[in-house]
């Protein structure tokens, strides 16, 4: 990126500029008024350079695969999601869905400590002052203007305060989420 501001002219280059400005001020009242305005205007502040963009960190897939394997082991989540449910009634899906729900809840309880992002009850009216954490709070609806914002809390959000995933053995293939089973 190149700087758009021209470099200051040398002393000898400023001499013809000064004479040209002098005669233009004498002959053109509008030009003289603009120069006068420049002389009384505050010095322009340099524009700060844009903040560097933080590099994105690449997440290794092992932790995500490990979590998916735990959800498969305790909740049969992959089996449930991969099943074509179009031929089943809602009543027939309810029983298996309850087992998946219970298993997923067990995995969350055992491996994560969760806390709400906002302590207020859903539906509560809240005010978000300037400087609120936009990484933890998403504004929805008709978002115009600047904080403070007032609105109804439609979801408290979730934050993981602790993660306790099991350690992986050396050579473990995390991509194998559930071993194939062969009955003998």
pLDDT tens-place string over residues 140-155: 998 888 999 999 999 9
The answer to whether residues 123 and 158 belong to one domain is: yes
The answer to whether residues 67 and 17 belong to one domain is: no
Cα-flanking dihedrals φ and ψ of residue 165, to 5°? -80, 145
The answer to whether residues 77 and 27 belong to one domain is: no
3-class secondary structure, 181: coil
For the chain, what is the total number of helices (H) and then of strands (E)?
A: 5, 4
The answer to whether residues 36 and 65 belong to one domain is: no
Range of the domain at 31: 12-40
Reported as a pLDDT band with limits 50, 70 and 90, residue 99 is very high
Task: Establish if 108 belongs to a structural domain.
Answer: yes
pLDDT exceeding 90 applies to what percent of the chain?
53
The two three-digit tokens of residue 86, written as one number: 């179009």
Reported as a pLDDT band with limits 50, 70 and 90, residue 157 is very high
- The contacts of residue 110 (CB under 8 Å, 6+ apart) are 164
Task: Establish if 169 belongs to a structural domain.
Answer: no
d(CA 109, CA 49): 46
Q: What angle do CA 75, 79, 85 make, to 5 degrees?
A: 115
The answer to whether residues 26 and 66 belong to one domain is: no
Reported as a pLDDT band with limits 50, 70 and 90, residue 5 is low
- The total domain count for the chain is 2
Task: Establish if 102 belongs to a structural domain.
Answer: yes
3-class secondary structure, 136: coil
* pLDDT at res. 22: 74
What is the per-residue burial (b if ≥16 Cβ within 10 Å, else e) of 18-56?
eeeeeeeeeeeeeeeeeeeeeeeeeeeeeeeeeeeeeee
Task: Establish if 45 belongs to a structural domain.
Answer: no
The two three-digit tokens of residue 152, written as one number: 């109804």
* pLDDT at res. 137: 95
Task: Establish if 101 belongs to a structural domain.
Answer: yes
Task: Establish if 119 belongs to a structural domain.
Answer: yes
* pLDDT at res. 4: 60
The answer to whether residues 35 and 116 belong to one domain is: no
* pLDDT at res. 109: 93
The answer to whether residues 81 and 159 belong to one domain is: yes
């Amino acid at each position: 990126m190149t700087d758009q501001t021209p470099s200051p002219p040398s002393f000898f280059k400023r001499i013809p500029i000064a004479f040209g400005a002098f005669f233009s001020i004498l002959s053109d009242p509008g030009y003289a008024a603009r120069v006068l305005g420049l002389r009384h205007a505050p010095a322009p502040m340099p524009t700060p350079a844009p903040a560097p963009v933080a590099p994105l960190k690449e997440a290794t897939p092992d932790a995500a695969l490990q979590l998916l394997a735990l959800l498969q082991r305790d909740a049969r989540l992959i089996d449930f999601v991969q099943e074509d449910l179009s031929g089943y009634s809602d009543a027939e899906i309810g029983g298996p869905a309850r087992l998946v729900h219970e298993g997923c809840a067990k995995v969350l309880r055992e491996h994560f400590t969760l806390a709400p992002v906002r302590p207020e009850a859903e539906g509560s009216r809240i005010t978000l002052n300037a400087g609120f954490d936009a990484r933890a709070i998403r504004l929805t609806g008709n978002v115009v203007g600047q904080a403070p914002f007032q609105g109804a809390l439609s979801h408290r959000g979730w934050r993981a305060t602790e993660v306790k995933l099991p350690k992986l053995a050396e050579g473990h293939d995390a991509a194998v989420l559930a071993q194939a089973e062969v009955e003998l």
